[in-house]
């Protein structure tokens, strides 16, 4: 229940910030173009707070925090007094209308830069992208790793941490091959080597694995100890009496060898009782555990008990603090925002080409979970989450669906070309089509959200 409330609260805060940024973009440009703004509302439905400013605009916070709007004076909506007609939206030039409508999505991109700017000023603890092995029969099998190597570039994009590697790889989904450049940990010049991975048959499910592991790259991890660092409250291990701090001694009367072997035996024992011996306070305890089940990457059922081990600290030379000065932070934030824009546009394109399944669409439930998780990790991670969602909100609103900003912009650009507005009947048909398309996409996203619960 507490997790639900935390996720909900984080979601409302995140959505409120992003909607305010988007609507303020419309509001600010509309005022600069001489349009009278009657209401600036964050949320829909009954107002829980309202105030009329000195500019005559009514500022409102409403009960349903799932959107917002800027109500402008418009003769197409209501009768406008003769004295105010010059301030009506529909009386403005087509280029002014384009500027007002496009300002919302642009504000989302500007906000993303701002959020990332603050994030980089504060500093982001990160890890260098080090691999220590590759998996046979995967695209990465062509890479021979004899010692830990650092990924320094994916394609022509330099990367500094695993997040950047992930975004770069996602942008190559559907490509025939991916170039990955590695360098030794020693950092000696001239030792970089580029590998071309054949990804013509590369498929992965984002819900079950990352693009990194699905390619066959073995991520470096510090030594894993047999001491349990996590026991899930709703897992089979907790039900059987296992506790944080227990040391694994044996499984099915066979001595514990390593974590990978332990996981393999658990996965092979879905719904089958097994014996696990642990050491606690100097005493060995035998426990009977019946692993639950979940669907594995290959679609087969595998066992799971809800535990995680402890591991040695990360070596200092593998840690990375992404922190910059006042000027450089802006440059890095702008570049990062551009990366997010490019990756997001590519992903939308791959949805239409079939390279990415519609099962990967996420709705408000997934966004709420992401908001809660990022907020739980701290301010810098929440800022990164806000930037990502803000970019996606801006791009989605630019899609040429008539109910979105992009649909209005499409009509206005047609007006620029033809010299006259798109007929009202055509616009109405377009709005109905756009609403149906948007409803379908939202339904798919919600269905995906519920299927993940």
| Residue 341: partners with Cβ closer than 8 Å, 6 or more residues away | 109, 391, 395
Strands 157-158 and 149-154, sheet pairing: antiparallel
Catalytic-role residue among 23, 75, 163, 328: 23
Tokens in use for 186? Answer: 């020693």
Phi/psi of residue 41, nearest 5 degrees? -120, 130
- Alpha-carbon distance values, 286 to 227, 251, 282, 448 (Å): 16, 9, 13, 41
DSSP 205-228: -TTT--HHHHTTEEE--PPEEEEE
What is the C-alpha radius of gyration for the chain, rounded to an integer number of angstroms?
27
- Residues composing the chain: 453
Residue pair 19/25 in contact (Cβ under 8 Å)? The answer is no
Alpha-carbon separation of residue 280 from 66, 249, 267, 384 (angstroms): 50, 10, 24, 41
Query: 23 catalytic, yes or no?
Result: yes
Round to whole Å and give the CA distance between 289 and 344.
Answer: 43
Helices 94-122, 2-32: axis angle to 10 degrees equals 140
Query: Residues 380, 122: contact at Cβ < 8 Å?
Result: yes
- Residues contacting 323, CB < 8 A, separation 6+: 120, 121, 122, 123, 124
Torsion of CA 385, 113, 121, 18, to 10 degrees: -40
Catalytic residue numbers, as ranges? 23
């Amino acid at each position: 229940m507490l997790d639900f409330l935390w996720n909900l609260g984080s979601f409302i805060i995140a959505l409120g910030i992003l909607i305010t940024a988007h609507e303020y973009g419309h509001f600010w440009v509309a005022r600069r173009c001489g349009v009278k703004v009657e209401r600036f509302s964050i949320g829909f439905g009954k107002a829980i707070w309202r105030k009329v400013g000195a500019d005559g605009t009514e500022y409102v916070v409403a009960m349903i925090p799932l959107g917002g709007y800027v109500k402008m004076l418009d003769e197409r909506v209501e009768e406008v007094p003769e004295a105010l007609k010059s301030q009506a939206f529909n009386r403005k030039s087509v280029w002014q209308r384009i500027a007002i409508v496009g300002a919302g999505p642009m504000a989302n991109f500007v906000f993303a830069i701002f959020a990332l700017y603050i994030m980089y000023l504060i500093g982001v603890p990160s890890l260098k992208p080090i691999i220590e092995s590759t998996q046979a029969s995967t695209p990465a099998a062509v890479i021979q790793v004899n010692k830990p190597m650092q990924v320094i570039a994916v394609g022509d994009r330099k990367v500094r941490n695993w997040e950047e590697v992930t975004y770069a790889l996602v942008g190559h989904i559907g490509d025939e091959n991916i170039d990955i450049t590695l360098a030794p940990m020693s950092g000696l010049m001239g030792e970089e080597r580029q590998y071309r991975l054949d990804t013509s048959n590369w498929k992965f499910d984002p819900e079950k694995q990352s693009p990194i592991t699905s390619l066959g790259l073995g991520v470096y991890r510090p030594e894993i100890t047999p001491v349990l660092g996590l026991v899930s409250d709703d897992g089979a291990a907790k039900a059987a009496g296992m506790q944080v701090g227990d040391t694994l001694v044996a499984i099915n009367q066979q001595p514990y060898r390593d974590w990978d072997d332990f996981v393999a035996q658990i996965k092979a024992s879905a719904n089958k009782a097994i014996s696990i011996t642990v050491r606690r306070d100097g005493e060995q305890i035998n426990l009977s555990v019946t692993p639950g089940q979940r669907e594995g990457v290959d679609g087969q059922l595998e066992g799971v008990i809800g535990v995680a081990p402890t591991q040695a600290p990360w070596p200092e030379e593998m840690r990375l603090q992404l922190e910059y000065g006042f000027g450089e932070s802006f440059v890095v934030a702008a570049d990062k925002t551009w990366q997010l824009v490019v990756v997001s546009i590519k992903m939308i394109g791959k949805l239409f080409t079939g390279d990415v399944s519609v099962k990967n669409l996420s709705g408000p439930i997934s966004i709420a979970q992401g908001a809660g998780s990022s907020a739980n990790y701290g301010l810098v991670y929440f800022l990164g989450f806000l930037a990502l969602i803000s970019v996606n909100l801006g791009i989605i609103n630019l899609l040429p669906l008539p109910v979105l900003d992009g649909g209005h912009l499409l009509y206005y650009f047609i007006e620029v070309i033809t010299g006259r507005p798109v007929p009202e009947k055509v616009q109405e048909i377009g709005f109905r089509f756009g609403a149906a398309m948007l409803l379908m996409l939202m339904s798919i996203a919600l269905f995906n959200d519920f299927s993940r619960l």
